[in-house]
Structure formats: C-alpha cells, structure tokens
C-alpha cells in the first residue's frame, strides 16, 4: 500500500468515524425527546403519537437546520433583536422583514410541510436567541426568546418538547395547540427551535 493510499484510507476512516459519532449524538437527542413525550401525563395519546411520528422527525429537517444555522451566523446581538421586535410590534404597515420571513426558504419549507400535514397550521422556526427565522403566518412579535415555546424547546442548548393547551391564537384567530421542538444540526447540537400550531380535533 502506497503512502498516498494509506493517507487517503486514514482520512476516509476518520471522516466515517466523525459522521458516525455525529449521527449517534443526534440519535441520542431524538431518543431523549421521544422519552420526554412518553413521560407527559397531561397530553392525549393521539397528540403524543402525532408529536413522535410527525413533529420530532422535523427536528433535523435539512432546510430548517440550514436556515437556522445561517441566521445564527449573522451574529445579531440581543439588543438588536429586541429593537427589531419593538419595530415589528409597533408596525402599522408591512415591513420588509415581514415579507422576507414569509417568503424565504424556511417559509417555503413550512408551507410544503403544512400542505402535506393539513392539521398543522401556524408554524414558525426560531434561532438560538428566539428570533424568527421563517414562518407561514405573521406572528404578533419577532422575538420569542422570552416565551415558553422557545425557552422549553431550546432549553439552553439541551433541547426539549413544549406542549401548550389548546386555546385561541390571536395572531391567526384560530383555536390551536402549540407544540415546540428543538432544531438539531448534523452534529447533534441544538441550534434553534420550531413551534407548530396543530388542530387536535383533526388528529
């Protein structure tokens, strides 16, 4: 075996080990989320099954991961995010960022998913500080970082499941049940979160 062949073999072997390790980390996080859902005591079996079969697989959705990672890479300060949040809340006319978050790749992926799973309504993806990355309906605010839907799903980078009570959503005017999950990258790292409004009566 030549030195070049040996080097290439080592590089390939190391790459495979790294990929295997990352995959194992991701699988471990997903397994933990499934166990967390199983342990919920105030959630119906139908909702639990829906979370495990339809929502948890979206934790590693490639578009959500790529868009969230790109948003995190912008390096926005929390002060800048809060300033934009204030502008968002006070806006009486459409802002450029409204259109951006309703039309970007993340928003298009959300629309694709809601078309395929019609019991999912309002959906939005958030970065590692709770700022919106993409959505299919305008949320009442831009920053979700002070709300349970982000705090419990991001969970300081550990990831978790948040299941809210069914109630009227003032943003959409519809009664739904909010369920939040973490966004997990290829290395198994939690980089953001996503919130789905579902109609439990359609499960």
- The pLDDT of residue 16 is 42
Rounded (5°) CA angle 92-94-98? 125
Predicted confidence band at 171 (pLDDT cuts at 50, 70, 90)? low
* Number of separate domains in the chain: 1
- The pLDDT of residue 114 is 96
Confidence check: pLDDT of 129 > 70: yes
- The pLDDT of residue 7 is 40
41 vs 173: which has the higher pLDDT: 41
- The pLDDT of residue 12 is 42
pTM for the structure as a whole? 0.85
Over residues 12-20, the mean pLDDT reads: 41
Q: Give backbone dihedrals phi and psi of 182, rounded to 5 degrees, phi first.
A: -80, 155
Both structure tokens of 20: 């295997």
Confidence check: pLDDT of 165 > 60: yes
Predicted confidence band at 19 (pLDDT cuts at 50, 70, 90)? very low
Provide the CATH number for the domain around residue 50.
3.30.450.20
Over residues 172-201, the mean pLDDT reads: 92
Inter-CA distances, 116 with 64, 101, 113, 121, Å: 16, 20, 5, 11
pLDDT tens per residue across span 60-106: 999 999 999 999 999 999 999 999 999 999 998 999 999 999 999 99
């Amino acid at each position: 075996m030549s030195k070049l062949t040996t080097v290439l073999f080592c590089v390939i072997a190391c790459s495979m080990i790294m990929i295997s390790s990352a995959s194992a980390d991701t699988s471990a996080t997903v397994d933990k989320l499934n166990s967390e859902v199983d342990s919920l005591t105030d959630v119906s079996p139908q909702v639990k099954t829906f979370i495990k079969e339809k929502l948890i697989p979206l934790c590693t959705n490639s578009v959500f991961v790529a868009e969230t990672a790109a948003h995190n890479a912008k390096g926005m300060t929390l002060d800048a995010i809060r300033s934009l949040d204030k502008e968002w809340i006070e806006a009486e006319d459409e802002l450029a960022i409204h259109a951006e978050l309703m039309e970007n790749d993340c928003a298009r992926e959300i629309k694709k998913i809601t078309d395929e799973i019609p019991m999912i309504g309002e959906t939005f993806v958030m970065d590692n500080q709770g700022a919106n990355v993409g959505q299919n309906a305008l949320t009442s605010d831009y920053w979700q970082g002070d709300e349970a839907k982000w705090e419990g799903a991001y969970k300081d980078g550990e990831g978790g499941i948040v299941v809210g009570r069914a109630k009227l959503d003032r943003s959409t005017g519809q009664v739904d049940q909010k369920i939040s999950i973490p966004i997990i990258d290829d290395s198994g790292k939690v980089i953001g979160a996503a919130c789905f409004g579902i109609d439990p009566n359609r499960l």
